[in-house]
Amino acid sequence: MLLIVAVVFFGRSYFLLDLQSPTDVNVGYTKTILEEESLASWGPYQSKQGGLISIESQVPTTCRSNAIVLLVQKKHATYQRDSYGMLLRALDLLSRNYLQLDGNAENVDLFLFHTGDYDQNDLGWIESVLSSRSGMVKMVNLNGTGFWELPHWHRNDDRSDWVDSNLFPVGYRHMCRWFGVKIWQFFDEMNSALGCSYRYILRIDEDSLIHSPIQYDIFDFMKSHQFVYGFRLCAYELEYNRRIAPWLNRWKMKNPLRREMHRDLCGFYNNFFVADLDFFTSPPVSRYIKTIDRQGFIYRKRYGDLMIHSHAVYGYADPVRIHRFLDFTYEHVTRDHVLHPEQGCVVWGGIQQGYLDPTPENSLNAYLQDVLDRRCTANVTTMDETDLSPTYQHIPLNWKGKLHLKTIVAGKVELPGQGTNSG
């Protein structure tokens, strides 16, 4: 049942369970830290994509086998918001609810990708905010490299013909290409150039807020269970497939998919994802991604990284290798920057309780109060496990039939009544 309400009531008791990992899959789980490090000289090196890649850090370190990645800017080019302040809040929550717990910071490097507006002062300040090991944070300037440029096949385009050209500038489309196509090439190339062995990549954004503790190592969890993709929320955006439907139909005839794509399926809301680099660089997935890029769909059709990830994972991953995280409370929103930017209502996204959050009312009530203070509306509902990607949730047996996650959203994010369409 979908409601528009002004208050949230919590009539349940919530307990933090002592679980090794949020799954009942019977696979061995061990923390892996130092034995998978590899020594690295951090560049610069000549990229095959074009340009020199230089990776800055506070002190020389070895490279881990896992990476948390953020694409950062001081002021958001599309939404005109204080991106730096938002980033510091997101990183503080990441630190308190993940990196500082159980030695999790020892198993990962954090990469800040930017296009020229960050420097060594920012690097030092951000590392102090994280309160983690020295040298964990790496900074990479993508400007002037082949990872952040208009492909040559678009250079004669009339950009006014691009879909939604007045709302989403070229920088936004660069971002979609980066997370959909180029990031896999970056880490694959860096592994080869520097002798690293990065495999699992976790993305968050400046507005990705992890509100409750994650008391296990996400990367070891993914590796132990052989998951190739993990996500947190659903966004029902696959209707955008219609923009490339003729090509997509021809592609599927020659390249059969594991799961048929249709417009009502959950799209992986990939402002939080964990991905296996080996999967995204495998021949069938790599071929699909490169073809999407070369067809020009990202720039001309605004075919975004959510679509690319969802198609690649649904199409080529074994369903048992896909995981939906439901244990931690998570928030990600897009606010109105067009019609009433001064009010700042959420138009897409929201917050969802995690089932292992001991105090979900804290963040959920704060979120709802902000909605009320801005005189906005929100869709408030309680989602049970039948609408929470039942194919991919892998919840512990003692939680079967007990999931009731409070959800406050706007737009076509986390819709109730979707059943297996939610994954």
Q: Residue 330's Cα: distance from chain center in Å?
A: 11
Q: Residue 38 belongs to a domain with what CATH number?
A: 3.90.550.10
For residue 376, tell me if it sits in a domain. no
pLDDT in the model for residue 23: 44
pLDDT in the model for residue 268: 98
Q: What is the number of H-type helices and E-type strands within the chain?
A: 11, 17
pLDDT tens, N- to C-terminus, the chain (423 residues): 443 333 332 332 222 223 334 544 433 334 444 434 555 557 789 999 999 999 999 888 889 999 999 999 987 655 556 899 999 999 999 999 999 999 999 999 999 999 999 998 999 999 999 988 889 999 999 999 999 999 999 999 999 999 999 989 999 999 999 999 999 999 999 999 999 999 999 999 999 999 999 999 999 999 999 999 999 999 999 998 889 999 998 998 899 899 888 889 999 999 999 999 999 999 999 999 999 999 999 999 999 999 999 999 999 999 999 999 999 999 999 999 888 999 999 999 999 999 999 999 999 999 999 999 999 999 999 999 999 999 999 999 999 999 999 999 999 999 999 999 999
pLDDT in the model for residue 40: 56
For residue 158, tell me if it sits in a domain. yes
For residue 51, tell me if it sits in a domain. yes
Burial per residue of 207-243, b for 16 or more beta-carbon CB atoms within 10 angstroms, e otherwise: bbbbbbbbbbbbbbbbbbbebbbbbbbbbbbbebbeb
pTM for the whole thing? 0.90
pLDDT in the model for residue 36: 43
Helix (H) or strand (E) holding 110: strand 109-114
Q: What are 186's two structure tokens? A: 């970056």
Q: What is the β-pairing status of strands 267-268 and 66-71? A: unpaired
Q: Are 308 and 251 in contact (CB under 8 A)?
A: no
Q: Are 31 and 220 in contact (CB under 8 A)?
A: yes
For residue 54, tell me if it sits in a domain. yes
pLDDT in the model for residue 287: 96
Among 396, 181, 369, 208, smallest CA distance to 275 is for: 181
pLDDT in the model for residue 60: 82
Helix (H) or strand (E) holding 277: helix 277-280
For residue 6, tell me if it sits in a domain. no
CA distance 288 to 265: 20
For residue 215, tell me if it sits in a domain. yes
pLDDT in the model for residue 132: 80
CB atoms inside a 10 Å sphere around CB 194: 19
For residue 42, tell me if it sits in a domain. yes
For residue 147, tell me if it sits in a domain. yes
CB atoms inside a 10 Å sphere around CB 247: 14
Total tally of structural domains belonging to the chain: 1
Could you write out the DSSP letters of every residue in 226-263? Answer: T-SEEES-EE--GGGGGGGHHHHHHHHHHS--SS---T
pLDDT in the model for residue 353: 98
Q: Which domain range does residue 201 map to?
A: 34-323
